[in-house]
Chain A
Amino acid sequence: MRKNKSISVLIQLCKRLLPLAALLSLTGCWDSDEVNSLAIVTSAGIDRTKDGAIELILEIVAPQQQQQQSGTGQSSGQKGGKGTTIVRYAIGDTAADAQGRLQWKLPRTIYWGQLQVLVVGEELARDGFREQLDYLVRVNEIRLRVMPFVTHGKALDFFDSHFLLEQTKAGFLQSEAARVFHKPLTLSRLVQRLSSDEDTAVLPFINIPEDRGDRGGEPYIKGYAVFNQGRMVGTLTGNSFLAAKWATNQLKNDVETVNVGNESPARVTYTTLAAKSRLIPIRKNGEWQMNIRIESEINMIQNTSRLPMAEPQNARLLEAAAAEHIREVVTQTVRDTQRMHADIFAFGEAIKRRNPHEWSRLEPQWNRFYPEMDFKVEASVKLRRIGMNSIPLGRQHKERTKP
């Protein structure tokens, strides 16, 4: 009797505990990953070797490095000059194949979840890297937030390049992009552009200084690499880069100089506080024409001319000169892209938004239509601030009030 009772209590207890047993299976121990067993990738580079194979370069976080270098002195928290990441590479038929080969050589499992930047070598970019991109958008750990870049020369050169300011290459490129662009380009934007009707894209183009070492300076974003039909067809640098950023609302931290008035010296330097551009497609005589309307507000930072900008009529002069400058460089840049047959400003998209029916007619011949397309740049500039000094330094007060 008593025995029966205790058994039934046991059964009751088992019943109560059963759901907990089910919970255990939900943790999925098969997929458990210890941080200690992972090779955490922060940046990846892909490139093409001379014989057409794919080279994959990974920058992997090396948390132990620090301890090893400090040697016996446990208390010394001194950081090694090499940084906290290591670079490994492998060559394979495809990016995924190279990854597999790299994994053979690595004692830890490659973990893509922390991937932040992707660097594509120029050679592969010119050949088209869309096929290799397929691997990155397929891996389930990789987020579409990864920032893609194209580097001058070989991707491995970038990973070998020397710089001291940031600990990892990924951190370096991220802060570089945040400095140069208003809203840095991500993989999501890139794949959208590559699968759009126009099939054009731009990626930041990194320049690597020839002379490596402390004096040579660090790599920096020099301009845009322009892609057409998945292949890199050219770059936009200098003023064209500025203009391209202007037209795509990406302008940040620019410095420009224009001439105001006829007297010499007449240079006025300013930065842009806010800029906004819009594409307005209009039909003129049955043909599409694009109006690029750019509005910006500027902050004068140096005035070498004799004209005090506190006077409204002089401010208007500067505004007109700055607007003319914008018009000039943007017009030149659009011409350049027309020569490259690459509609990087998404003129097609603008027409599609305005008139989807027309677009379905234009789309098949867009690649021929775009280079011939008429466009007009309208720029309006407002001078918002002139800094802490009202009249040019060294100019007499008398001179200013003279009629």
Chain B
Amino acid sequence: MVDKGKISRGQLAFMLYSLMAYDGLLLIPKIAGEKAGRDLWLSPVWSHLTGIMMVLAMLRLSRMFPEESIIVYSKRILGKWLGIAAGFIFVFYAFYLTSVILRIYTDFISSVFLENTPTVVISGGIMFLVAYTARGGVEVLGRLAQLFIPATIVVFVILSILTIPEWELSNALPILGKGPIPSLKGATVPFTWFAGYILLGLYYPLLSDKRKVTLFVMTAWFGEMITLAASGLISVFLFGEYTSTLNYPFIEVVRYIALGEFFQHIDALLLAVWLPGTFIELATYHYATVTGIAEWTGLKNYRALSFTLGFLVLVVSYWGITSDIDFERYLATSHIWFDFSVLVFGLLLFLVAWIRSKLGALKYN
């Protein structure tokens, strides 16, 4: 590994939680709602129940090579040239996803909060911080995750509790009124997001303690599922089937909160959940890109790459797609296939490793 730093298992769990929870909170109720109607809160449950195979496969794979990153051991599994190609796929995925998330972040902030601000200021500002964090190494990233994520979870729970007086429980009925098919269709997008767990291949060797990692990773997995299902369910309780018509359902949920005359207009609290969460998510992906490329090219020092790649991410996030509408369409169509191929790639890597180890053809350290 190019980074000598170590992270704890809890920090890893927080980082994995951030990979899905925050974007999901914002986008899943809408994306799933288009297909699933009032069953949209069930979609994350289905996707997580199926996505667990990716999580377990990546954990198993990492445990076969506990001291090496995915860049190194994919060469061991697939042979030199295919292995280098596999390393490239991983690095490209991490790099590209950083830019996609940056774009989601920019679109959200500029359409809801900072309408007149040039978007490059919004995305450039956060990307600078992200690159600075990634440059600091994995320990900085781990500690930041440990610092921010618990606070955001607490605020999210408080926000959810504050909506209780407005719940219209009958909005969620009938559950599975049109059978399980619509909610399963809605589960496709969150399912493909499980491609993100491929990052385990990079972060696993950085763990200081490798016992009972499964438990921690599963906690993150479960936490994601609860967060996404809860945010979907609350949106349905408040807005029924109208949820999927709203561009950002959960921001409307938070805006709807009003306790008495004085406790309202607390939209900024959602930002307090969402901003640190997305920051950690971006940094997790960006750090994976930076160290991944350093390892792939055989550089001794990864720090110099952070700002350069950060700038490239910034550029790529604007590349090609200018309008928000087109980007949203892209997320719901082509991007599904991109994520899905990476998911399949991760599973294939695991299968090859598993079969070769059964045949005794795989050399461990």
Contacts and interface: CB of A to CB of B under 8 A. Distances in A.
Given A26-B126, A144-B256, A192-B242, A18 B113 contact: no
A25 B122 CA distance: 8
A143 B241 contact: no
A353 B118 CA distance: 47
A145 B239 CA distance: 11
Nearest to B111: A140
A113 B265 contact: yes
Interface string B104-117: 00000001111111
Contacts of A192: 239-242
Nearest to A26: B125
Majority SS of interface residues in chain A?
A: helix
A188 B256 contact: yes
Contacts of B256: 143-145, 188
A186 B128 CA distance: 42
B112 A31 contact: no
A144 B252 contact: yes
Interface string A124-155: 00000000000000001001110000000000
B132 A18 contact: yes
B357 interface: no
Given A188-B239, A192-B240, A196-B241, A352 B177 contact: yes
A195 B258 contact: no
A165 interface: no
B173 interface: yes
Contacts of A77: none
A195 B171 CA distance: 14
Interface string A191-212: 1100110000000000000000
Contact of B115 (A31, A188, A191, A354): A31
Contact of B174 (A145, A196, A352): A352
A387 interface: no
A286 interface: no
A354 B124 CA distance: 52
B52 interface: no
B241 A195 contact: yes
B143 interface: no
B245 interface: yes
A352 B38 CA distance: 12
A353 B115 contact: no
B71 to A, nearest CB: 29
B247 to A, nearest CB: 9
Given A22-B125, A192-B241, A28 B114 contact: yes
A18 B310 CA distance: 15
B349 interface: no
Interface residues of A, number: 25
Nearest to B128: A22
Nearest to A25: B125
A19 B129 contact: yes
Contacts of B177: 352-353, 356
A260 B241 CA distance: 46
Interface in B314-331: none
Contact of A28 (B121, B170, B241): B121
Nearest to A188: B239
Given A31-B117, A352-B174, A356-B174, A25 B124 contact: yes
Interface in A171-202: 188, 191-192, 195-196
Contacts of A26: 125-126
B121 A188 contact: no
B63 interface: no
Contacts of B128: 19, 22
Given A26-B125, A30-B118, A31-B115, A144 B132 contact: no
B178 interface: yes
B32 interface: no
A352 B126 CA distance: 47
B255 interface: yes
Interface string B205-241: 0000000000000000000000000000000001111
A30 B113 CA distance: 11
A143 B252 CA distance: 7
Contacts of A19: 128-129, 132
Interface in A13-28: 18-19, 22-23, 25-26, 28
A188 B242 contact: yes
Interface in B161-176: 170, 173-174
Interface string B264-289: 11000000000000000000000000
Nearest to A346: B170
A176 B43 CA distance: 41
Interface in A349-382: 352-354, 356, 360
B8 to A, nearest CB: 24
A176 to B, nearest CB: 15
Contacts of A29: 117
25 contacts: A22-B125, A22-B129, A23-B125, A26-B126, A29-B117, A30-B117, A30-B118, A31-B113, A31-B114, A31-B117, A140-B111, A143-B252, A143-B255, A144-B255, A145-B255, A188-B252, A191-B242, A192-B240, A195-B241, A195-B242, A195-B245, A196-B240, A196-B241, A353-B170, A356-B177
When A and B form their complex, which 9 residue pairs have the shortest distance between CB atoms, in order from nearest? A356-B177, A30-B117, A25-B125, A28-B114, A143-B255, A28-B117, A22-B128, A30-B116, A31-B114
Given A23-B125, A143-B252, A143-B265, 8 more contacts: A26-B126, A28-B114, A28-B122, A30-B117, A30-B118, A191-B242, A192-B241, A353-B173
